[in-house]
A and B are shown apart, each in its own frame.
Chain A
Amino acid sequence: MSRTATQTAEDESTTVSEVDIEDEGKVDLSLLRELGKNGLINALNSVNGVKTLVLDPTVAGPLGLLTEVSLLKQHGVDKMFWLEAGPLTATTTNIVYLTRGKISWIKIIADQIKRHVKDGTKHLYTILLVPRTSSLVSRVLEEEGVLGEVTISAFNMQFIPLEDDLLSLEHENAFKEIWVDGDETAVFESAQALITFQKLFGLFPRIIGKGDSAGRLTGLLQRQIKELDGGSKSDKLLTRSDKIDSLIILDRRVDMITPMLTQLTYEGLVEETLGIKNSYVELPASLLTTAKPPQGTSQVDANASPSLATPSASTLQKEPKKKHQLTATNDILFRELRDLNFSGVGLRLNKTARRLEEDFKGNLKAKTVAQLRDFVGKLGGLQSQQQSLRIHIGLTEMITPSTRTEVFNKSLEIQQNLLSNYETSTQIAAIEDLIAQGASMQLVLRLLCLASIVTGGIKTKTLEPLKREILQSYGYEYLPVILALSSPPLGLLLPNPLPPSAASLASTKIPYSNLRKALRLVNEDPDDFDDPADISYVYSGYAPMSVRLVQCVAQKGAVLKVGEGGDAARKGKGVAGGKARAHPIVGWKGFEDVLESIPGETFDVAQVGPTGTEASIAQTVASSLLSSEKSSTTVVFFLGGCTYTEIAALRWVGRQNKGRRILIATTGIVSGASIMNSLAGAVSSGAASKDTTPQL
């Protein structure tokens, strides 16, 4: 870490409890989970009898967030397999494939069916396509000659609640599909999911956004609502929501700086170093198996506090891995840790350990039977806290070594300097050194793209040798990746000056140094990471541009000057509810010029129910008057994915003002690494995991 944090004493539970108090008027996301679950059950029940379920790994992850294996078994699933090339041996007559409509998956299915036909084994095949049936799939099956063998239906999987403030479509490759392949299926699916969302919670009164693809999504949203014919329109779609004040849509292309940076929050760093897939992280098995604490009476009279020792990090790496779901729903400690700057995690863990120890010692003071009973009652909670503490200490120990490596620290330094426009040519030379040292390709590419974005292009004379270095180090087969990065519509890695044929790319460049000032992207004087006064704490000094744009709509004061929100929050700490009230949503007002300077469509549209009568207008006026007392939710949708760090920053924004909650929705969780890897995906032909029994 390039900058260190100082610690101030603070009661860590305040933030959590405040959220609980403001529960009224909250958007109930469990509805969406139920919707998904029922859809799945109905889809499975359409096939009679016992069935073998074959899962596309990219669906299996999200599915695990909706349901558990026992539920599938209840609905006739006998065995489960990954969908992977090679023969499939099933004992049941029914075989159900659950997959996205990607051609590669469909071809594997076709191969398996053809093999069965050749072997003379008779099966009934059903393909459940996520999220809808497609003529492309029928066509491919037809070309493979097996269309007659299968029944095709759909399982409409849309938003999956990952946390109580986070929705995801878990569409892994949305970024690559939209901006490299030009396949806008993800945009269409986002529109459909947002319509389902509005069916449940009412129309978004206002849609504000930035980016060309975001603009297209908004167009689709409005168009599709119009196209829904009267019969299928629920009442909710006719009226504006009273719980939600607006939808902010940002597409990933608008802010490519943020994902290029190394995430420095706890959850972000876990993603950067270990990788989080569909909320699951792979951990050594020993870290997860509960070291059975002494039970019952022996616990009470044990005077030593339970051991918090974890196996040392080096041994952890070699053990068999097990999946662990990182979620705050049942892990209170994680709720506290996930959004902290990593520099503060150690201290927080330490404090929690002490507190737990105190709590365990509580039994010593228990003199009367009643006191003992109280203590035993609390024991279960304490033990689960102890377990989660063990896990997080283990995780921290696994991450820490990688944050100490030279490559890591050097890359952070390069990032910070580039962001401050400090000696950019030196930084580019430093990137070359990193290549020589054998840094990972995704890191090198991220740094190079970052350099290109903030400087508006790297000098051709410098860039070509760098590209050559990359190709020599990692293989010439990565040339297409570099080409994709430097051609439209991405244009992340550009030469300066641009060649005449690529002149169109000039318009995709962002005026970084102006934006840095206008949006206060770089906080030269990062304060306390543990009790931050600005979102820039998440990158130790850089405020994610995407979140700044959200603030331009939802927390204007915070963009303009330091700590307006934060200071108020801090002053009011002692008094409950001392926070400033959120200002009403008035679109981009005040930031029109800044927004204009960023490439991509800027929009701000009001949605009125199709029955735009006086009554409904009167009602909206009334609700806008009311909204000054009630709290409302602002939905932020990232088209093309967002990072854990942006989520952390948005959560911080949501805590600053009274009366505005932020609900984050995205096509998927991304990181610079996952973006780069998805671009390189074609080269390193998708190494899917090879276990044969999917764990949900």
Chain B
Amino acid sequence: MELEHPTTSWQAMQDGNVFYKRQQLYTIHEKMPRFEDHIVAGARFGGPIAIMRDSTKMIALGGGVPAVAKDEIRVYSSSGEGIVLFTLNQGRIVKFGWTLDERLVVLNEEGTYRVYDLQGDYVQYSLGPDASETGVIDARIHEGGMVALTGALTLLEIKGWDGSRPLTLASTGLTEPPHTWSIIPPDLTISRHTEVLISPTTSTSILSIDNLECIDQRLSRGPFSHLAPSPNGKSLALMTSSGTLWVVSTDFQRNLAEFDVTSKVDEGAIGTPRQVEWCGNDAVLVTWDRLALLVGPFGDILSFIYAGPTFVVNEPDGVRVLGPDVCDFIQKVPLASVNVFRPGSTAVSAILYDAWENFSKRAPKADENIRSIRPDLAKAVDECIEAAGKEWEPYWQRKLLNAAKFGKSFLDLCNPNDFVNMGQTLKVLNAVRYFEIGIPVTHAQYLYTSPSHLIDRLTNRSLHLLALRISTYLSLKPDSVLKHWACAKIAKSKSTSSAGEADTTDDELCKVITAKFRSVNGGVVSYAEIAKRSWEVGRPGLATKLLDFETRAADQVPLLLEMKEDKLALTKAVNSGDTDLVYHVLLNLYNRLPLGSFFRLIEDGGAALAPASKLLQVYAREQNREMLRDFYYSDDRRVESAVLSLEEATKIPDPTSRITAIKSAQKFFSEDKERQFEAKMMDESIRLLTSQQQLEKEADGKIDFFGLSVNDTVTTCLLNGMSRKADKIKADFKVPDKRFWYLKLYSLTKARDFEGLDNFAKSKKSPIGYEPFVHHLVEKGHRKEAAGFVARCDASKRVDLYVECGEWRMAAKECKDRTKLEELKKRSPNDTISREIDSVASMLK
């Protein structure tokens, strides 16, 4: 059977240089509800279609099409097969849309949104209190997030689908809901942040808004009924209310094209268009109830007629059009296909294809053909392989690959990888395009989204066997498929087994799952998620069993916590060495458990949980001292308790409370037999503080003593002429003579009380000798005074000490013999001094 030639679906544009083709993918006659009465959202990359009833419209019953009940959303594949049905039981739905991993986001007017997967399970998040107060009136959902318009006309942005905090974008200054609006997703803008475009009702312009500013683009042709950014984010299609399609660059700097659609009224372009979507980056598809107009960059028009209202899903390389009967894909014909199939094409690939046709017909022209393109044969082969990837029908794919294979046999050196890969890829693509699966993904989209993404999409539809086969076929890791399979298996098994025999099936199921994993993968799968799943469906026993297979503590611990396996969770966290994980557990437990059992859990852990105990102390010391005090108290840790009081004492400015704190530290120490020394020290400390208070009182509060060390107290006394008090402190605190002498030396020098210093030096024999006097005075720049003390030093050192004081003459006088003098002379800095030394030397004679 000869299928239709590919070119029969082509239509020429731009004087026959560019072709667009409408490829019919599936017939979906009466499998889906009619689009005009429903709200529809389609996922890209050949993804599913979600349909909800439009409650503002009347609905005609009967007619063979399936009806959607009031509070549900139905999801269909592109081939019209029903996939899943979500029953809604929440506020009015404002908007729904698809994420990249084919989960449906459903946002209601109270600002809560649910993210449904294709199994019907969902997670629910909120846009925050502001949104729920004012309500949400509209939203735009893209694959990586959404922007919601609240009742207060502010814009809230959500990034990602894990419940992140909404970000308020710049104020719009709107006073009423906009006419229409759109967003450019962050991956398409120059700034890499989401940009919102609004066409307000009150002006003819457009506002571009990001999280920093709101710019009025100062246009005069609005308001606009449609606003559509191109797939690459560079151009914008605008539909004016007067029916002009206007294409501009997204920065509004360049006018790209203009077309008056009202000129096509006779074909069915009546009223406001249903949708304006881009087809590729250079053509725009405008749809009405029965008409789809494709407007090219130079105002060329192609029109496609449908039996009823359509729904258009924008794809990166074209558009998918769902009509009442068919699912079509409209795209610009790729260059490779044009080269091969265009009538009269003289491209090398066309000649190669022709050669192969002749060869299969056993016509001798084949040889002639091959010979004529010999130099470019490699290119021809590549192009045939590429063109094969662009074809929908396996028949043509095969033909093109055969042509490539034929050409390849004439090449001496040819890397077969492209050929083999294309063959494999097409096999996969054909499998998923089969109407029962219904994923009409194109080759370009497949490359863009990656094979593993496709496998995830299959597993999300519970097509585990196909997913597993494909991943084995493409030699990809089957981890995610297996994980999904196990989760599904656990969820299913729950409904079949009754509570009584749960224990036996736990074992069996665990065995089945682990055996399967081992057989396929050598057992390197994250078991934590599967365990979590079985915990969620109410099988804790199975969860524990599976969790034992998990190696990563970071994955085990959260589930263990959820399962209230507190001690185990803490132990695993400690063993992982990840301090943050330990904190996670500790803080969680601290919140949940009564304080006593919390402490007991840690204390009973002994050495194994010691790191956790330490971390708790680090946290509590900064953030929760009350708890720490209780903790030490409950564990009889007297030294720690004392240290804690001491640390607090240094931070208390009020004298009385500080003394109280130190007293409590003293008490803690004294309770420990081995800490008598520390207790005694604390006694001293209290005594010191009290006498300092006394000193301050005597100085009429002019001098600060409180909190100084013993040394500083003595010094302060001496500097302020309270030497009697200093002596008293010395006696009270048994300051050793040596230290006291140094203190006095330093203080008197600092006070420049040289007379006092002299008297002090004479008061009794210095316990530190007199050299320190000389050294210190010299160091502080009092050489003259220093020299006065040299005489009291050891005779043998006097020469050097005098030199240190700069007293060369005296130094010379100290010299007892000539050799020493000579030595001294050598060190003398100038002639005057050496002459002086000479004179001393002469006297020595």
Contacts and interface: CB of A to CB of B under 8 A. Distances in A.
Contact of A220 (B577, B622, B775): B577
Given A136-B580, A143-B623, A184-B611, A473 B739 contact: yes
A501 B674 contact: yes
Contacts of A93: 212
A436 B674 contact: no
Nearest to A185: B579
B643 A480 contact: yes
Contacts of A433: 738
A436 B768 contact: yes
B289 interface: no
Given A181-B614, A436-B736, A472-B709, A479 B526 contact: no
Interface residues of A, number: 62
B739 A435 contact: yes
Nearest to B212: A49
Contacts of A473: 709-711, 739
Contacts of B743: 438
Nearest to A50: B212
Contacts of A477: 646, 649-650
Interface string A462-482: 001001110111111101100
Interface string B734-748: 011011011100100
B192 interface: yes
A134 B710 contact: no
Interface stretch (A225-233, A251-259, A371-379, A387-395): A225-233
B218 interface: no
Contact of B739 (A45, A48, A436): A436
Nearest to B620: A103
B526 A229 contact: yes
Contacts of B406: none
Contact of B617 (A181, A223, A436): A181
Contacts of B634: none
Contacts of A182: 610-611, 613-615, 617-618
B727 interface: no
A40 B524 CA distance: 34
A688 interface: no
Contact of A48 (B210, B577, B587, B623): B210
Interface string A650-685: 000000000000000000000000000000001101
A148 interface: yes
A148 B212 contact: no
Interface stretch (B68-76, B105-113, B677-685, B785-793): B677-685
Contacts of A231: 477
B709 A134 contact: no
B578 interface: yes
B252 interface: no
B579 A406 contact: no
A216 interface: yes
B191 interface: yes
B739 A406 contact: no
A13 to B, nearest CB: 36
B630 interface: no
Contacts of B735: 472
A103 B619 contact: yes
B838 to A, nearest CB: 29
Given A479-B646, A501-B674, A437 B212 contact: no
Given A183-B579, A188-B579, A436-B768, A48 B212 contact: yes
A191 B577 CA distance: 10
Interface string A7-51: 000000000000000000000000000000000000001001100
Counting chain A CB atoms within 10 Å of each CB, which of B167, B587, B647 scores highest?
Answer: B587
B690 interface: no
A476 B775 contact: no
B614 A103 contact: no
A400 interface: no
Interface in A474-501: 474-477, 479-480, 483, 487, 499-501
Given A107-B622, A182-B610, A230 B639 contact: no
A93 B210 CA distance: 14
B168 to A, nearest CB: 9
A183 B615 contact: yes
Contacts of B623: 103, 107, 140, 143
A231 B478 CA distance: 12
A184 B524 CA distance: 29
A355 interface: no
B577 A227 contact: no
Given A473-B710, A476-B682, A132 B580 contact: yes
A143 B624 CA distance: 10
Contacts of B584: 135
B797 interface: no
A104 B623 CA distance: 8
Contact of A230 (B165, B524, B682): B524
Interface in B703-737: 708-712, 733, 735-736
Which secondary structure dominates where chain B touches chain A? helix
Contact of B742 (A132, A438, A500, A683): A438
A227 B583 contact: no
Contact of B165 (A135, A148, A226, A685): A148
Given A139-B587, A140-B623, A148-B165, A187 B739 contact: no
Interface string B578-615: 11100110010000000000000000000000110111
Contacts of B711: 438, 472-474
B266 to A, nearest CB: 49
A685 B621 CA distance: 14
A227 B551 contact: yes
A45 B231 CA distance: 24
Contacts of B576: 223
Contacts of A483: 639, 643, 678
Interface in B614-643: 614-615, 617-619, 622-623, 639, 643
Nearest to B649: A477
A139 B681 contact: no
Contacts of A479: 643, 646, 678, 681-682
B709 A474 contact: yes
B610 A472 contact: no
B272 interface: no
A231 B452 CA distance: 12
B165 A151 contact: yes
Interface string B466-490: 0000000000010100000000000
B193 interface: yes
A502 B578 CA distance: 29
B772 interface: yes
A468 B676 CA distance: 13
B685 A476 contact: yes
A393 to B, nearest CB: 21
Contact of A683 (B619, B650, B662, B736): B650
A471 B677 CA distance: 12
12 contacts: A48-B191, A48-B211, A151-B165, A182-B613, A182-B614, A188-B577, A226-B551, A436-B741, A437-B742, A473-B709, A475-B708, A475-B709
Given A49-B212, A477-B650, 11 more contacts: A135-B580, A151-B165, A181-B617, A182-B614, A184-B611, A229-B526, A436-B739, A438-B742, A472-B709, A477-B649, A480-B643
Sorted nearest first, the 6 A-B pairs with minimum C-beta distance are: A182-B614, A476-B685, A103-B622, A475-B709, A472-B710, A436-B739
Interface of A: 45, 48-49, 93, 103-104, 107, 124, 132, 134-136, 139-140, 143, 148, 151, 181-185, 187-188, 191, 216, 219-220, 223, 226-227, 229-231, 406, 433, 435-438, 464, 467-469, 471-477, 479-480, 483, 487, 499-502, 682-683, 685
Interface of B: 165, 167, 191-193, 210-212, 477, 479, 524, 526, 551-552, 576-580, 583-584, 587, 610-611, 613-615, 617-619, 622-623, 639, 643, 646-647, 649-651, 662, 674, 677-678, 681-682, 684-685, 688, 708-712, 733, 735-736, 738-739, 741-743, 746, 768, 772, 775
